[in-house]
Amino acid sequence: MKLEVKDLHARVEDKEILKGINLTIESGQVHAIMGPNGSGKSTLSNVIMGHPNYEVTQGQILLDGEDVLEMEVSERAQKGLFMAFQYPVEIPGITVGRFLKRVTEVHRAAQARLRGEEEEKAPKASGFVRELRAGMDFLEMDQAFINRYLNDGFSGGEKKRMEILQMMMLKPGLAILDETDSGLDIDALQVVAKGVNHLKGPDFGAIIITHYQRILNYIKPDFVHILYKGKIVTSGDQKLVETLEEKGYDWIKKQYGIQE
Ligand code: ADP
Ligand code: MG
Ligand code: MG
């Protein structure tokens, strides 16, 4: 899978936030997008996923050559884009097991349709449960979670595990993790990293969006981009993360002549 962002400009409430973003992400790659608060990181991920508050004023987003901006939000997800939110929703009244079974079935059926295959019969419940339990073991989640209401009373770390579990069940082609590390303790952070590193392979890519370098100690990015005031001011590899950690965002500002 290949996602191409070309000269993307976007605004929210008449304010231009993204000012010409160029980015290409392919399966098998992990990209980190770093930047201070307010630089437009969430705007970029929201635009890619089709959040209605954001208006694209210029540029293109292509997924394997197809125009993403013309796709419904559900279509983007069916085609394999997945987004982990900074603040997951709580849904009392539906259990983790039922929720994941439903979304996984709907997703797999839609993907089969897109491949032009006959819709596979809903997978046997026992097979699904086995897969779910294996995922939970892998993420060191208590099996009792299957019968808990979705995110209801979950701690921050438990919500994150839940989301990574969902990602592992859906096996997206490209996942966007927007500040999924903020407020997490080291244990939860390591679980997020474990999930991403487990999925990483020829059919999976990820964009890790973060303010801090911490999560990048556990998920090694192949490419690193610095977003500042709606533009990618520089790109590099893991060394850029180290330089940023050492010198801070002020160095970026001076280096690239960014005016306040
Ligand atoms: P980041 O994720 O890098 O912290 P955001 O993309 O959230 O940055 O925000 C970039 C800028 O866009 C900020 O100045 C923010 O106030 C503004 N912005 C984002 N969403 C909205 C919105 N819904 N309404 C008004 N301003 C917004
Ligand atoms: Mg922010
Ligand atoms: Mg943000």
Q: For ligand 1, what atom is nearest to the CA of residue 53?
A: 23
For residue 13, the ligand closest to its alpha carbon is: 1
The two tokens of residue 179 are 């500040």
DSSP label of 40: S
Q: Report ipTM for this prediction.
A: 0.94
Q: How many Cβ atoms from other residues are within 10 Å of residue 171's Cβ?
A: 16
Tell me how long the chain is. 260
12 ligand 1 Cβ < 6 A: yes
In the chain, what are the domains? 2-255 (3.40.50.300)
Residue 245 φ/ψ, nearest 5 degrees: -60, -40
Asked whether 61 and 176 are in contact (CB, 8 A), the reply is: no
Question: Per DSSP, what are the bridge partners of residue 204?
Answer: 201
Strands 55-63 and 2-12: what pairing? Answer: antiparallel
- Return phi, psi of residue 29, to 5°: -110, 145
DSSP letter at 180 equals: T
Report field, pTM of the whole predicted structure over 0.90 = yes
Token representation of residue 164: 């990574």
Each residue's pLDDT, cut to its tens digit, for the chain (260 residues) gives 999 999 999 999 999 999 999 999 999 999 999 999 999 999 999 999 999 999 999 999 999 999 999 999 889 998 999 987 655 667 778 999 999 998 898 888 888 888 888 766 655 667 889 999 999 999 999 999 999 998 888 888 888 899 999 999 999 999 999 887 777 888 888 999 999 999 999 999 999 999 888 999 999 999 999 999 999 999 999 999 999 999 999 998 898 888 77
Cα–Cα dist 110/7, whole Å: 31
Mutate to test the pocket of ligand 1, among 8, 9, 11, 12 (most ligand atoms within 8 A of CB): 12
Q: How far is the CA of 37 from the centre of ligand 1 (A)?
A: 9
Helix residue spans in the chain (DSSP H): 41-49, 73-78, 96-114, 125-138, 156-170, 186-199, 238-255
